[in-house]
Structure 1
Amino acid sequence: MKDIAPGHSNVVPAGRVFRGSDRRATLREGLQGCGEYGHSQTAGRFYPIACVALEVTQRCNLDCTLCYLSDRAEMTYDPPLSVLFARLATIHSHYGPGVSVQLTGGDPTLRKVEDLEALCREIRRLGMRSCLMTNGIRASRAFLSRLAAAGLDDVAFHVDMTQERKGFDSEIELNTVRRNYIVAAHGLGLRILFNTTVFDGNLSDLPALARFMRDQPEIAFVSFQMQADTGRGVLRERPDSITQSSVMRAVEQGYGTPLHFDAAAVGHSGCNRYASVLTAGGRAISVLSHQRLVQQVIAALEQMDRSADAYLDTRDSVRRLVLRRPGLALRAAAHLAGCVLRLGMGLLRGRVRRQAVFIHNFMAADALEEDRCASCVFMVATGNGPLSMCVHNAQRDLHLAMPDKVDGPMGTYWWNSAMRDLSRHPELPGLDSPEQAPIKKLKGQLRARRQNRKGKS
């Protein structure tokens, strides 16, 4: 496994080029090249990418102790809508309809709600899915209602102890915040997701937090994201106690059952671990407990897939599976029925829901691994096309300074994050040094150092 320096920009081509009509080929070949395209792999087999982040601002209303943004982030301007629309068009041309676009930042709710409505409408027009990634502070019910009406599909709330929210001393106490956010989004037709950064300060809370997530029927997707030494946060190197194995064990302890994280793969196993769970009335059962059956269903769905250039049409493929492989379809249905029955008394206390559980292992900026970058399923939209999230985080200032080219009816314009508006001139200013910025524009390590120097003077 080869390590690469964060300054290298040729790890993954900024704009992945697909050959012919097979948009899945690049990801599939990346996974094949590092021995990760086994019988359980879904990436590159059923979809060309898992999701693409569209960063609509670098501003944030928190100062997390772990943050992937750079020292310069608060000094940059938000991309104009024309730039963001051009990036959406690029995402669509690379991956086709069906891709999930994450409206993120910074915190996207710091932009005008009208801007986010326009982006949701455009994503819906292009046949893609939209997800608002937010810390939830400004995501009121009225705010979310407007976005839902404009076509927003999902809302992902990031809540954890790295955010240092006042008055909360544990992840368990933060469940009050999580419940409030669920209430704000419930009933709007939005899929509700929760993200948690796992670090030394909350590892012991993880089982209890996982139990809380299990017992919230409104939550469709849970992501536990392991600490990574990247960005501007004051916390740096991940402690040895935090590994994929330790996080999986803690999550399984909270769910009260084995979750079979190795049964179905979503990209590189060093990056992502995935489980699918049925929950009801405080109980959970893994859907993926029969690994051989899972592999047989994956192989059969691949044979039934008629949309091999973009995203699997699940309903059509399942219908064809029932017609062409009735024996396998019957065994799969019997397995699912057995999973439901194993919920036992939970069936008397609540409705059966399905929940996806992910463990995400992002890389440190100075320890990027080439095979993982080349098979990344989590991309960021840049002016030069999609780029691996870990590579982007390691090179963030480089891409903030890079110009976007926008072609329109009035001609060609240029923009980078050092400019408020579009320019007709391709020679754009570079980013200012954060060392010269006022302290109110600084967060993370640089702010802490500035405050420390001030305290000593």
Structure 2
Amino acid sequence: MKDTLPDPITIKPAGRRFQGSDQRAPLREGLRGCGEFGPSQTAGRFYPMACVALEVTQRCNLDCTLCYLSDRAEMTYDPPLSVLFARITTIRSHYGRGVSVQLTGGDPTLRKVDDLEALCREIKRLGMRSCLMTNGIRASRAMLTRLAAAGLDDVAFHVDMTQERNGFASEMELNRVRKAYIDRARGLGLRILFNTTVFGGNFAEIPALARFLRDQPEVGFVSFQMQADTGRGVLRARPDAITQDSVIRAVEQGYGTSLHFDSAAVGHSSCNRYSSVVSAGGKAVSLLSNQRLVQRVIAALEEVDTGQDAHIRIRPSVGRLIRRHPLLALWALGHLAGCLLRLGSGLLRGPVRRQAVFIHNFMAADALEEDRCASCVFMVATANGPLSMCVHNAQRDQHLAAPDRVDSPMGTYWWNAATRGLSARPNLPVLKDPEAAPLKRLKGQLRAARQSRKDAS
């Protein structure tokens, strides 16, 4: 059957659901259950979920030495738009307005631009935020222009040495790629993000990379993602030298200042560490240097706006905070002024910009921790509802093989990644065996093993 179902299409939500009308409850209770819902916590307090990945394809035009996709992932078919629209509806029903929906994969730019535009428009229509997660190879200026016009909010470029791009021997050489990507997105109204996998091959360069990213005024968000033993990549266990603390020290060395990653929390502290800085002219200053002030502001904001989507009404919330807590507002204003003054001569050399800095610690597939999974702020949309990213990566083939239920005025239909199109029955076909595929279609460990056998024969 061809994918001809009319819009709108709804899907019966599944997986972890909220109780009553408070969609923050599951995340809040998960964090509280593992002792992570303290006065610095923002997750489950101002929003029910930080972001949800919508995997629009399993195809990719790179073969990273660290890849969270499975051996069978690229043997599957892309989900039709009707399935993706249904998953977007499920995300909205779980988490309400304001959640970030990440168009990802694989690399989403391997889908038709028309498809990506339709997804951006639907996400915008439902009051959520969209982000294109891409390696940037096919994310041309023309494509980004079209997606921005369709409602895309953010573009996140993932660039690092695990991708083995031809002609680049170091992270610093890859800065040419990063600058080119910034130029593509500049002036389109998109927030620009950069993701970097931290692994043994680039760990020594993290300070220099952090310094480079600090000095790019167009970049609003940077993420350092620690190597995890999951997926099909040929690099496996993380080197002992790479820990949250060692990555924090390396990033702080690059920024040239303490970043106070413990002042504000975004989910479980073993998963995410967050900082916010202001920078100008090659200097950066942490906005979170006074933890007591940060906690007081969090408590005051929670008091003046108890809505579960308070994070998307920050300006009116700040206005009410100023009216109800003028002394606290003066304290915060004085702290901000002090931060700007500490930029010193940097104020004369460049524009003042704010930048969010994250360190993400993803779990190995064979070392999932129950409390961290139960308090995850980074989910994946699946056939059975949102699921923790680390759990999904550890069980990817199982979830790819699960059928999506799609309800429409024409009836109920099913889609499975192992088959093309929609079906009238929830069949459970087996994903294709990658051993039967030609060598050129294999990636990661399977390709390395097949090539090794071929060389030995």
Give the alignment's TM-score, normalised by structure 1. 0.96
Q: Residue in 2 aligned with 1:98?
A: 98
Structure 2 residue 23 is the aligned partner of structure 1 residue 26: no
Task: Give the letter aligned to residue 205 of structure 2.
Answer: D
Partners in 2 of 1:312 and 1:163 — Cα distance?
35
Q: Report if aligned partners of 2:46, 2:309 keep a CA contact under 8 Å in 1.
A: no
CA drift of 1:107 comes to 0.1
Partners in 2 of 1:299 and 1:427 — Cα distance?
50
| CA distances 1:153-206 after superposition (whole Å, capped 9, x unpaired) | 000000000000011000000000000000000000000000000000000000
Structure 2 residue 159 is the aligned partner of structure 1 residue 159: yes
CA drift of 1:409 comes to 1.9
CA drift of 1:313 comes to 2.0
Aligned residues: 445
CA drift of 1:440 comes to 2.1
Q: How does 1:28-427 map to 2 (within 5 A)?
A: 28-308=28-308, 311=311, 313-427=313-427
Task: Give the letter aligned to residue 213 of structure 1.
Answer: L
Partners in 2 of 1:120 and 1:214 — Cα distance?
29
Q: Report if aligned partners of 1:305, 1:312 keep a CA contact under 8 Å in 2.
A: no
Partners in 2 of 1:308 and 1:363 — Cα distance?
28
Partners in 2 of 1:305 and 1:443 — Cα distance?
49
Q: Report if aligned partners of 1:97, 1:311 keep a CA contact under 8 Å in 2.
A: no
Task: Give the letter aligned to residue 62 of structure 1.
Answer: L
CA drift of 1:14 comes to 6.4
Q: Report if aligned partners of 1:117, 1:146 keep a CA contact under 8 Å in 2.
A: yes
Which SS does the other structure have where 2:422 is aligned?
coil
Partners in 2 of 1:308 and 1:166 — Cα distance?
46
| CA distances 1:322-343 after superposition (whole Å, capped 9, x unpaired) | 1100110111011011101110
Q: Report if aligned partners of 1:265, 1:274 keep a CA contact under 8 Å in 2.
A: yes
CA drift of 1:259 comes to 0.3
Q: Residue in 1 aligned with 2:4?
A: none
Q: Residue in 1 aligned with 2:453?
A: 453
Q: Report if aligned partners of 2:46, 2:308 keep a CA contact under 8 Å in 1.
A: yes
| CA distances 1:362-392 after superposition (whole Å, capped 9, x unpaired) | 0000000000000000000001110000000
CA drift of 1:99 comes to 0.5
Q: Report if aligned partners of 2:98, 2:309 keep a CA contact under 8 Å in 1.
A: no
Q: Which runs of 5+ in 1 are unaligned?
A: 1-12
Partners in 1 of 2:33 and 2:429 — Cα distance?
40
Which SS does the other structure have where 2:223 is aligned?
strand
CA drift of 1:310 comes to 6.5
Q: Residue in 2 aligned with 1:7?
A: none
Partners in 2 of 1:142 and 1:95 — Cα distance?
32
Task: Give the letter aligned to residue 438 of structure 2.
Answer: P
CA drift of 1:311 comes to 4.3
Q: Report if aligned partners of 1:95, 1:310 keep a CA contact under 8 Å in 2.
A: no
Partners in 2 of 1:436 and 1:308 — Cα distance?
49
Q: Report if aligned partners of 2:55, 2:106 keep a CA contact under 8 Å in 1.
A: yes
CA drift of 1:74 comes to 1.3
Q: Report if aligned partners of 1:23, 1:310 keep a CA contact under 8 Å in 2.
A: no
CA drift of 1:305 comes to 1.2
| CA distances 1:298-356 after superposition (whole Å, capped 9, x unpaired) | 11111111413664521121111011001101110110111011100000011110000
Which SS does the other structure have where 1:368 is aligned?
coil
CA drift of 1:411 comes to 1.1
Q: Which runs of 5+ in 2 are unaligned?
A: 1-12
Q: Report if aligned partners of 1:419, 1:429 keep a CA contact under 8 Å in 2.
A: yes
Q: Report if aligned partners of 1:266, 1:273 keep a CA contact under 8 Å in 2.
A: yes
Partners in 2 of 1:414 and 1:228 — Cα distance?
33
Q: Report if aligned partners of 2:48, 2:308 keep a CA contact under 8 Å in 1.
A: no
Which SS does the other structure have where 1:259 is aligned?
coil
Give the alignment's TM-score, normalised by structure 2. 0.96
Partners in 2 of 1:361 and 1:97 — Cα distance?
27
Partners in 1 of 2:373 and 2:306 — Cα distance?
29
Q: CA RMSD in A?
A: 1.0
Q: Residue in 1 aligned with 2:9?
A: none
Task: Give the letter aligned to residue 290 of structure 1.
Answer: N
Partners in 1 of 2:440 and 2:416 — Cα distance?
22
- Aligned sequence identity (%): 80
- Gap change, CA 1:424 and 1:109, over 3 Å in 2: same
Partners in 2 of 1:364 and 1:107 — Cα distance?
22
Deviates more, 1:427-436 or 1:298-307: 427-436
